[in-house]
């Protein structure tokens, strides 16, 4: 008999997996796992054909069919790229197409401008509540915000600067403000302070989330003064608990229910919350911002406030330069409401329309900035304010701008 020490382990031969052929720039793997080509995006569209037939014959279309049509369109909407065509999010496209069309139509006549500029916020709010009710992520507002910045700057360079009223220094200041907005937005879009259960390694997180989670518990993130920004679990889990944060904490059942996240399977630190849109818990979550398509939490709150402040200053400065150019010898406020002859020239009419569009966007961002400053001064988050209103434990002050949540004495 052979001794145990003399036995040699049998090496198993690795089964060689067949190598997949590299994709060309126009090929991709569709949602069914099959190789497809960009040129065949209009082929084999049975759901779309059925939907068109029902629409032509005035028959009702099933919601399931609409969802399949949208899934097919979003899967086939791709652009050629190295090592395979890249998928394009369909929600990015409408702002790129509709915004220039609407602004050019609004510059034809004063009444058209009133109708278009009034309908744009209504459509944006309708789309927001539609996606917010379904708890869906969308790149529509991020695309709208970035494209609005770029298009307003393009109109300023093409229609306002050639008139000779804007100097090089003023143009440089406006350009620097635009770049600072983009830098602040890039920082605000980074990890807001995601939480994850260390025991579950199969969670699908982005690279920015994984980078933050690897540093969890090793460093403290700077926050606003006076706010409880503790990122550790403190005394919420017992030392003899072998599963750590994966176990329901002891103590009050009501408190345990509030601190325990059944979806993420972890104990939330103080003031953390689970975002139903992002699908993960966030430290000191303030709200989910559609303009950056991310949550505003402990790690990116300051960058979010900074982005709002820089945007407001840059936008007001650009509006002032434009009105001073197309409506000379008038104050900014007067020119905004009374600028005779502005629709006589298409260039000045387009500039004036873009000014009013910028005013509407700036007013909305100013309201968000004001609410954020009020919440910071009261050391509350927007989620805590909304929760207090839903539970009827808070009361509105100053026409609803201030909400007393009852958390402070």
Catalytic residues, by residue number, are: 289
Q: Are 274 and 197 in contact (CB under 8 A)?
A: no
d(CA 351, CA 363): 18
Nearest to 109 by CA among 319, 342, 334, 333: 342
d(CA 63, CA 69): 10
Q: Which residue has the tokens 């407001």?
A: 312
Alpha helices (runs of H) in 6-109, residue ranges in sequence order: 46-56, 63-76, 93-106
d(CA 20, CA 1): 47
d(CA 235, CA 163): 66
H-helix or E-strand spanning residue 147: helix 140-155
Nearest to 280 by CA among 264, 297, 258: 264
Q: Are 298 and 229 in contact (CB under 8 A)?
A: yes
Exposed/middle/buried for 15, CB within 10 Å: 0-12, 13-18, 19+? exposed
d(CA 210, CA 189): 15
**Rg, C-alpha atoms of the chain:** 27
- With a CB cutoff of 8 Å and minimum separation 6, the contacts of 223 are 229, 284, 298, 301, 302
């Amino acid at each position: 008999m052979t001794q145990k020490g003399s036995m040699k382990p049998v090496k198993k031969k690795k089964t060689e997996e067949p190598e997949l052929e590299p994709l060309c720039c126009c090929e991709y793997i569709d949602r069914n796992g099959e190789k497809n080509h960009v040129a065949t995006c209009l082929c084999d569209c049975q759901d779309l054909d059925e939907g068109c037939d029902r629409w032509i014959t005035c028959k009702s279309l099933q919601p399931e069919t609409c969802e399949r049509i949208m899934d097919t369109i979003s899967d086939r909407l791709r652009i050629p790229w190295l090592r395979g065509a890249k998928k394009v999010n369909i929600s990015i496209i409408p702002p790129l197409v509709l915004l220039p069309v609407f602004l050019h139509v609004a510059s034809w006549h004063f009444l058209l401008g009133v109708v278009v500029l009034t309908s744009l916020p209504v459509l944006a709010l309708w789309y927001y509540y539609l996606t917010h009710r379904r708890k869906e992520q969308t790149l529509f507002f991020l695309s709208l915000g970035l494209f609005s910045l770029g298009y307003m700057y393009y109109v300023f360079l093409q229609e306002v600067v050639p008139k000779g009223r804007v100097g090089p220094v003023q143009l440089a200041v406006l350009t620097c403000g635009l770049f600072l907005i983009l830098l602040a937005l890039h920082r605000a879009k980074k990890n807001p302070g995601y939480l994850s259960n260390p025991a579950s390694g199969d969670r699908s997180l982005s690279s920015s989330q994984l980078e933050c989670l690897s540093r969890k518990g090793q460093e403290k993130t700077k926050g606003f003064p006076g706010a409880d920004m503790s990122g550790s679990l403190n005394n919420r889990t017992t030392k003899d608990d072998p599963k750590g944060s994966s176990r329901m904490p002891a103590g009050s059942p009501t408190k345990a229910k509030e601190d325990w996240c059944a979806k993420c399977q972890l104990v939330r630190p103080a003031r953390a919350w689970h975002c139903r849109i992002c699908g993960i818990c966030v430290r000191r979550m303030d709200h989910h911002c559609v303009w950056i398509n991310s949550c505003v939490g402990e790690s990116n709150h300051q960058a979010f406030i900074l982005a709002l402040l820089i945007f407001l200053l840059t936008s007001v400065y650009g509006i002032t330069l434009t009105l001073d150019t197309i409506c000379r010898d008038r104050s900014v406020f007067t020119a905004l409401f009374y600028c005779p002859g502005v629709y006589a020239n298409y260039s000045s009419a387009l500039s004036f329309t873009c000014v009013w569009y910028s005013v509407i966007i700036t007013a909305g961002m100013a309201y968000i900035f004001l609410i954020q400053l009020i919440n910071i001064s009261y050391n509350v988050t927007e989620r805590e304010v909304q929760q207090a209103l839903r539970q009827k434990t808070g009361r509105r002050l100053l026409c609803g701008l201030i909400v007393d949540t009852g958390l402070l004495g």
